[in-house]
Chains A and B, each alone.
Chain A
């Protein structure tokens, strides 16, 4: 297993000092080269889970097993590019060991070749997300973390970026964990879908996608949708 997580408990403490449970007994694992999608309603702690995996939040009980010295590529929900550096420099700063050819190839692959010298303030959200994705890939990550990669994009833009990410996973076999509230997005991208409950979140069901991405069929999609909805409905009952 490349990624193996067992979070016993994670609480958010608000300003008044009251602890609110966010994650409880949450377990998930991902093998090398797999793409996992964490699916759950908004506000169920998905971003918190990613932050724990990324090492940004250490205030929890449980364990997160990652490859030692593994490189982590992360795409935050807001792109978090350095506004005072152009797109190309943003990538270079995160990936100082990437060669000029590698960076040029990434810019080309994400349709950013014409924007290499633009400052992020000039980019649309869709372009900025692509730049953030290119940056995360430039470090040749052992694990790629995507936080709602398609949220707040218009439908056409979301679809084209979804295709791009699907192709990327198929071609590079980079181990990927993405979180999303959108079931069709999870089905379109993942090998394995972890359905989370309402907070305090735990994994209600793990759905294996036998025919991921390019191989996805209409039947399989319907079947997965039903299974996921059943799991969510069951989670609502208890």
Chain B
């Protein structure tokens, strides 16, 4: 309830500010909604959203899968940690823009370069969190698994992943937000479609209505992923905790 009121206040503030300013600088909610509707009817909106969403999904899955696996191994093995740690530090500190430009110059203006560059930006963050998760594993449960000779699959599923889950959830949440922002940049710099491409167009035309019409539906989609996918999943995996975060609202 409080969240909804807070959300409504953002809309209200927007509408009020739009009243007092030039529509070229801040279009109101209604004109933006009209444009969203017409872009949706022509199909343009869904093409752009679809292209961006596909890139977000691909980059996110690659970065989370690879980053979590590497980070876990680093947390479990000192040697692997020593080998990969310098790489991790370098990756963590290269600006996203540098990775994107290098990827486009070396691999060409293509889909693989775009998705790869985004994944590479998310990779070190996923590694860091998975490594922390691996280091926090309870050794007494490892011993239990060893004495009872659990199969590697059973160990992964019942012993390792449940302990890693909070770290992976944090990694996925921050990762999704980061990935979609960087996807817009790779689209702006070198893709002929997607939300980022449309925003580039809006920038060149100084058309803020167009910018909002493409940015807002995407924010709405990411919000829906968070509320309908991430949060219920988190509640499900943490139901064993007596002090599980209760259903708010």
Question: Chain A interface (Cβ within 8 Å of chain B)?
Answer: 54-56, 72, 74, 76, 78, 80, 82-85, 93-96, 119, 121-122, 135, 139
Q: Which of B146, B158, B241 contacts A82 (CB 8 A)?
A: B158
Contacts A76-B143, A96-B151, A96-B154 aside, 18 further interface pairs with beta carbons under 8 A come to A74-B148, A80-B140, A80-B141, A80-B143, A80-B144, A82-B141, A82-B158, A82-B159, A82-B162, A84-B162, A84-B237, A84-B240, A94-B150, A95-B148, A119-B240, A121-B240, A121-B242, A139-B148
A119 neighbours in B (Cβ, 8 Å): 240
Q: Is the CB of B158 within 8 A of A56?
A: no
A54 neighbours in B (Cβ, 8 Å): 147
B146 neighbours in A (Cβ, 8 Å): 55-56
Contact with A along B126-160 (1 / 0, CB 8 A): 00000000000000110110111011001000110
Closest to A95 in B: B148
Q: Is the CB of A122 within 8 A of B242?
A: yes
Q: Which of A72, A85, A121 contacts B147 (CB 8 A)?
A: A72
Contact with A along B218-243 (1 / 0, CB 8 A): 00000000000000000001001110
Interface centre among B148, B237, B242 (most CB of A within 10 A): B148
In the complex the two chains form, what is the Cα distance from A84 to B244 in whole Å?
12
B237 neighbours in A (Cβ, 8 Å): 84
B241 neighbours in A (Cβ, 8 Å): 121
Q: Closest Cβ of chain A: how far from B146's Cβ, in Å?
A: 7
Q: Closest Cβ of chain A: how far from B156's Cβ, in Å?
A: 12
Q: Closest Cβ of chain B: how far from A178's Cβ, in Å?
A: 15
Interface centre among B143, B144, B154, B162 (most CB of A within 10 A): B144
A94 neighbours in B (Cβ, 8 Å): 148, 150
B159 neighbours in A (Cβ, 8 Å): 82
Q: Closest Cβ of chain A: how far from B133's Cβ, in Å?
A: 14
In the complex the two chains form, what is the Cα distance from A83 to B158 in whole Å?
10
In the complex the two chains form, what is the Cα distance from A191 to B164 in whole Å?
44
Closest to A54 in B: B147
24 residue pairs of the A-B complex, CB under 8 angstroms, read A56-B143, A56-B146, A72-B147, A74-B147, A74-B148, A76-B140, A76-B143, A76-B144, A78-B140, A80-B140, A80-B143, A82-B158, A82-B159, A83-B240, A84-B162, A84-B237, A84-B240, A85-B158, A85-B240, A93-B150, A95-B148, A96-B151, A121-B241, A135-B148
Q: How many residues of B contact A (CB 8 A)?
A: 17
Q: Is the CB of B141 within 8 A of A55?
A: no
A80 neighbours in B (Cβ, 8 Å): 140-141, 143-144
Q: Which of B143, B154, B240 contacts A93 (CB 8 A)?
A: B154
B150 neighbours in A (Cβ, 8 Å): 93-94
A72 neighbours in B (Cβ, 8 Å): 147-148
In the complex the two chains form, what is the Cα distance from A194 to B19 in whole Å?
89
Closest to B138 in A: A80
Q: Is the CB of B158 within 8 A of A93?
A: yes
In the complex the two chains form, what is the Cα distance from A222 to B126 in whole Å?
64
Task: Give 7 nearest A-B pairs by CB, closest first.
Answer: A84-B162, A94-B148, A119-B240, A84-B240, A80-B144, A74-B147, A93-B158
In the complex the two chains form, what is the Cα distance from A206 to B150 in whole Å?
35
Q: Closest Cβ of chain A: how far from B149's Cβ, in Å?
A: 8
B147 neighbours in A (Cβ, 8 Å): 54-56, 72, 74
A135 neighbours in B (Cβ, 8 Å): 148
In the complex the two chains form, what is the Cα distance from A130 to B144 in whole Å?
16
Q: Closest Cβ of chain B: how far from A207's Cβ, in Å?
A: 28
B141 neighbours in A (Cβ, 8 Å): 80, 82
Closest to B243 in A: A121
In the complex the two chains form, what is the Cα distance from A74 to B159 in whole Å?
17
A121 neighbours in B (Cβ, 8 Å): 240-242
In the complex the two chains form, what is the Cα distance from A82 to B147 in whole Å?
14
A95 neighbours in B (Cβ, 8 Å): 148
Q: Closest Cβ of chain B: how far from A174's Cβ, in Å?
A: 16
In the complex the two chains form, what is the Cα distance from A95 to B154 in whole Å?
11
Q: Closest Cβ of chain A: how far from B167's Cβ, in Å?
A: 14
B154 neighbours in A (Cβ, 8 Å): 93, 96
Q: Closest Cβ of chain B: how far from A98's Cβ, in Å?
A: 12
Q: Closest Cβ of chain A: how far from B155's Cβ, in Å?
A: 10
Interface centre among B141, B146, B147, B242 (most CB of A within 10 A): B147
In the complex the two chains form, what is the Cα distance from A219 to B150 in whole Å?
46
Closest to A79 in B: B144
